[in-house]
Amino acid sequence: MAPADVEPVARALAQAFEDDPHFRWIVRDDRKRLERLHHGFGLYTRRIWFPQNEGFTHDKHVGGALWMPPGTWHVGLLAQLRLMPGTIRVMRGDSARLLKALNFIERKHPRSPRHWYLPIIGVAPAWQGRGFGAALLRPVLERCDQDRVPAYLEASTPRNRALYERHGFEVVEECRYASDGPPMWRMWREPHGA
């Protein structure tokens, strides 16, 4: 993924997650959700995910997968503080719910062994069901298998969970970050092959 890909990938991710139950819980105003997600994914892609140089997209920018290599998944306190003004500017009154979800995800994240982490993958709705999600997963999962390194992610819907299960991930926990929040599935994948 190149710098010019960030904006169109952020747009595709916003479209992919506009009706996601977690983002509906975070941004409750249907009229504002797409714009807030677009700017939010842009902010997090530029500041956290893109610098890892492990982002993948399609030449039509129909989606993206933004991976964190082993040992890089944790966003330290200083980086969080630097992100705070941008997060509040983009998410406005929805910031508290976003931070509640992110803090929960951070607390639940496995500390060891070293692993690849997939914080976000999405394909715009018009392009879903055509194999783009699988293609976006493939480069890093092949590297995981070659290097014998596990991978971790959180699934936000049963449909997403099924995709990840087809690629070797297993559910380690179903959990919720709020009593009125939707379920999420923490998923782990051991490397495959010899």
Assigned domain for 64 exists: yes
Map residue 121 onto helix, strand or coil.
strand
Structure token pair of residue 167:
């690629």
Assigned domain for 84 exists: yes
Assigned domain for 97 exists: yes
Give the per-residue pLDDT at 51.
Answer: 87
Q: Which residues contact 69 (CB under 8 A, 6 or more apart)?
A: 52, 54, 116
Assigned domain for 194 exists: no
Structure token pair of residue 180:
């009125």
For residue 31, how far is the Cα from the chain centroid?
22
Structure token pair of residue 36:
């807030």
Q: Which residues contact 20 (CB under 8 A, 6 or more apart)?
A: 156, 157
The pTM (predicted TM-score) of the whole model is 0.94
The CATH number linked to 28 is: 3.40.630.30
Give the per-residue pLDDT at 59.
Answer: 84
Give the per-residue pLDDT at 194.
Answer: 55
Number of neighbouring beta carbons within 10 Å of residue 36 = 21
Give the per-residue pLDDT at 126.
Answer: 93
Structure token pair of residue 158:
């049963």
Number of domains in the chain: 1
What is the domain range of residue 72? 3-189
Tell me the pLDDT of the chain (194 aa) as tens digits: 888 999 999 999 999 999 999 999 999 999 999 999 999 999 999 999 988 899 999 888 999 999 999 999 988 888 888 999 999 999 999 999 999 999 999 999 999 999 999 999 999 999 998 999 999 999 999 999 999 999 999 999 999 999 999 999 999 999 999 999 999 999 999 999 75
How many angstroms separate the CA atoms of 178 and 55, rounded?
A: 30
Structure token pair of residue 70:
């082993």
User: Which residue is it, tokens 């923490």?
Assistant: 186
